[in-house]
Structure 1
Amino acid sequence: MVYMVIGMIGFVSFLLFDISSMKKWSFVKYVFIVIGISLMVWSTVQMAYLAPSFLVSSGARIVAFGLSVVFFGLLIYSVFIEVGIKTYKKVAHHELVTDGTYSLVRHPGVIWLFLLYFFLSIVFMNTELLITAFVWTFVNTLYIMFQERIVLRKIFQEYDRYTLTTPMVIPNIQSLRKFMTSTIWRKE
C-alpha cells in the first residue's frame, strides 16, 4: 500500500510539470517529470517484488506479459511520441494532437496505464498491482481533469472544440470509427 501511495505522488509531479511547461520554467519542468516517472517506476518495481498473492497458470502469465509489453509500448507511443518529444524540449512547442490514439480518446495514456498494471498484476500474481491499476487510474483521471482545466484549455484555443468530438477516457462508437479510419494507422 505504501508503494502505491508513493507512486500516486508521481501524478502530482506530472501536474507540476504541466504547469512549469505552461509557465516556460525550463529546468523546473524536467525536475518534476523525472521525479514523477521515478516515483512510479520505483513503486512498480517494489510492488513486483512482493510475494505472489494469487495463482495464475503459466500460460495466462505469458499472455499477460505479452499484453503488458503491448500496453507499455502504447503508453510510451501516446505520451512521448504522438504528443512529441518537442513537448519535453527546453522550449516546448505546443501543438494539439487530435489524431492517432488521440482520436480514440483525449487521454489514451489513462487506458494504457490501467491495462499495463492490470496485466502486470497477472504476470506477478500480485493483488497490490491489481489494486494499483484501479487506484492509479482514479488518481490519473483526477490529474487529467485538473490538467484539462488548468493547462490544456489555456494552451490550446481549439481544445474546447476537441472535447466536443472526442471523449475524455472511454471511447465511444464515433471515436472508435475515427480511430480505425485514421490515416496514421493505415496506408493510403
Structure 2
Amino acid sequence: MTYVLLGAVSFVFFYLFDVFNIKGKSLLKVSFAIIGLITFIYSSYKIAFLGSSISFHKGIRLISALLFLISLFLLFYSLFLELPFKKTYGEKDYNNGLITTGTYALCRHPGVLWFFFMFIFLFFYTGSALLLMAGLIWTSLDVLYVYLQEKYFFQDMFKDYKKYKKTTPMLIPNLESIKRCFKTIK
C-alpha cells in the first residue's frame, strides 16, 4: 500500500509543475516534473512486478502485453510528441499554443485515456491485484488533476481554450471527435 500512496504523491508533484509553469519558474517546473515522473515510475514498477499476483492464461498475458505497449506508446505520443516537448516541459514561457489536432481532437486529455488502459492491460499481464487497485486510484487522481488544470490553469494559458472546450469532449471521445482525430493525426 506504501507504493500506492507514493504514486498518489506524484500527482502533487505534477500539480506543482503546473503551478510553477504558470509562474514562469522553469527550474522548479522541470524539477517537480522529474521528481513526479521518477516517483510514479518507481511506484508502478514496485507494485506491478514485486507483489503477489493472479495467474492469467498465457494468451491473455501476451495480448495484454501488446495492448499495454500500445497504450504506453499512445501516452508517450500524446504527452511528449504531439505537444512541443521543449516549450511544454522545459521553457519558462508556458503559452506554446493550443494543440487541437490528432489525439487532442479525440478529447482534451487523451493522456488520461491511455493512462487508464495502460494500467488495465498491465494488470492482465502481471496479474498484480494491487496494481489494479492502484491503477484505479491513480486514474481517479489523474481525472482530478486534469479537472484542476482546466479550472485553474488552462483558461489562462491558452486564449482559445473556451472554444476548444465547446468542440472537444474532456475525457470520453464521441463519434465526431473520433472522426476529427483520424482526419488530423500526423
Q: Same fold (TM over 0.5)?
A: yes
SS in 1 for 2:169: coil
Alpha-carbon separation, structure 1, partners of 2:38 and 2:99:
26
Alpha-carbon separation, structure 2, partners of 1:64 and 1:52:
18
Is the 2:106–2:173 Cα contact (8 Å) retained in structure 1?
yes
Instruction: Give the TM-score normalised by structure 1.
Output: 0.93
Superposed CA deviations along residues 9-65 of structure 1, whole A, max 9, x for unmatched, are 111111110111111101101110011101110101111233443220111111111
Is the 1:115–1:133 Cα contact (8 Å) retained in structure 2?
no
Superposed CA deviations along residues 39-93 of structure 1, whole A, max 9, x for unmatched, are 1101011112334432201111111111111111110110111112121123345
User: Post-superposition shift, 1:122?
Assistant: 1.1
Instruction: Give the TM-score normalised by structure 2.
Output: 0.94
Q: Give the structure 1 partner of residue 32 of structure 2.
A: 32
Q: Give the structure 1 partner of residue 49 of structure 2.
A: 49
Counterpart check, 1:106 vs 2:108: yes
Is the 2:106–2:177 Cα contact (8 Å) retained in structure 1?
yes
Q: Give the structure 2 partner of residue 64 of structure 1.
A: 64
Give the letter aligned to residue 78 of structure 2.
S
Unmatched 5+ residue regions in structure 2? none
Aligned residues: 184
Give the letter aligned to residue 90 of structure 1.
E
Q: Give the structure 2 partner of residue 130 of structure 1.
A: 132
Counterpart check, 1:88 vs 2:89: yes
Q: Give the structure 1 partner of residue 3 of structure 2.
A: 3
Superposed CA deviations along residues 132-169 of structure 1, whole A, max 9, x for unmatched, are 22111111000001111111011111101100010111
Q: Give the structure 2 partner of residue 165 of structure 1.
A: 167
User: Post-superposition shift, 1:181?
Assistant: 2.1
Once the two structures are overlaid, the 10-residue window that deviates more, 130-139 or 95-104, is 130-139
Unmatched 5+ residue regions in structure 1? none
Give the letter aligned to residue 119 of structure 1.
F
Once the two structures are overlaid, the 10-residue window that deviates more, 100-109 or 53-62, is 53-62
Alpha-carbon separation, structure 1, partners of 2:164 and 2:91:
27
Root-mean-square deviation (CA, aligned residues, Å) is 1.2
SS in 1 for 2:50: coil
Q: Give the structure 2 partner of residue 148 of structure 1.
A: 150
Alpha-carbon separation, structure 2, partners of 1:21 and 1:157:
16
Superposed CA deviations along residues 87-141 of structure 1, whole A, max 9, x for unmatched, are 1123345211000000000000000011111111111111111112211111100
SS in 1 for 2:71: helix
**Percentage of identical aligned residues:** 36
